[in-house]
């Protein structure tokens, strides 16, 4: 499985038009995405997400008041201090995000999450490609976006394309093993 984050981003960008074509292909033929989710679940069993951390570098994580409280309890700090030190406002002024530091989540240190046991719900759910979950991240457009971030999602999506018999109009000479 391809695991280099930069190469995955490059290939995912290169596959954007193909992925849109694939989403239309799946939708137009009413193809179940259950095999995609099964393959992702199997890959997640063999992949150590903590060895990657790309999601911590490539996503902005919303955190709720309960999430802040959980982090505060884990760190033995006051929730107000956690909010002050580790969060910031999102584009929507009502949204609170974990702060970024050095192009990564403020809690990512040497590739490990320093609050893993108390990480926010969005982190717990990523990649949201669960077999039986009704999450926005579980929809095909979100899965295609996650492919640029997560090696498991990228590999599962590429295998699902092959499994469905999808043949893009323009493959750009790129094959993923």
Cis peptide before 127 (omega within 30 of 0): yes
Calculate mean pLDDT across residues 32-47. 89
Q: What is the reported pLDDT for 131? A: 53
Residue percentage of the chain with pLDDT more than 90: 53
How far apart are the C-alpha atoms of 44 and 128, rounded to whole Å? 12
Q: What is the reported pLDDT for 159? A: 95
Question: Domain extents for the chain?
Answer: 5-56+127-164, 60-120
Q: 33 pLDDT exceeds 80?
A: yes
Calculate mean pLDDT across residues 68-96. 94
How far apart are the C-alpha atoms of 104 and 170, rounded to whole Å? 34
Q: What is the dihedral of CA 34, 35, 38, 42, to 10 degrees?
A: -160
Locate tokens 């955190």: which residue? 63
- 118-131 burial by CB neighbour count: b if 16+ within 10 A, else e? bbbebbeebbbbee
Q: How confident is the model at residue 126 (pLDDT cuts 50, 70, 90)?
A: confident
Q: What is the reported pLDDT for 63? A: 95
User: What is the average pLDDT score of the chain?
Assistant: 87
Q: 49 pLDDT exceeds 90?
A: no
Q: What is the reported pLDDT for 72? A: 98
* Pair of tokens at residue 86: 């580790």
């Amino acid at each position: 499985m391809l695991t280099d984050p930069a190469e995955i981003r490059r290939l995912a960008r290169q596959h954007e038009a193909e992925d849109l074509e694939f989403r239309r292909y799946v939708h137009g033929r009413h193809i179940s995405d259950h095999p995609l989710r099964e393959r992702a679940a199997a890959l997640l069993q063999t992949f150590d997400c903590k060895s990657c951390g790309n999601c911590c570098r490539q996503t902005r994580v919303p955190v709720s008041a309960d999430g802040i409280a959980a982090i505060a309890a884990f760190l033995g700090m006051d929730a107000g201090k956690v909010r002050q030190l580790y969060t910031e406002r999102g584009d929507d002024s009502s949204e609170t995000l974990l702060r970024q530091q050095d192009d990564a989540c403020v809690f990512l240190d040497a590739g490990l999450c320093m609050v893993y046991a108390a990480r926010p719900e969005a982190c717990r759910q990523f990649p949201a490609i669960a077999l039986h979950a009704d999450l926005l991240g579980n929809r095909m457009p979100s899965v295609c976006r996650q492919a640029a971030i997560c090696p498991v999602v990228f590999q599962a999506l590429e295998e699902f394309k092959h499994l469905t018999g999808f043949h893009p109009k323009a493959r750009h000479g790129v094959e993923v093993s």
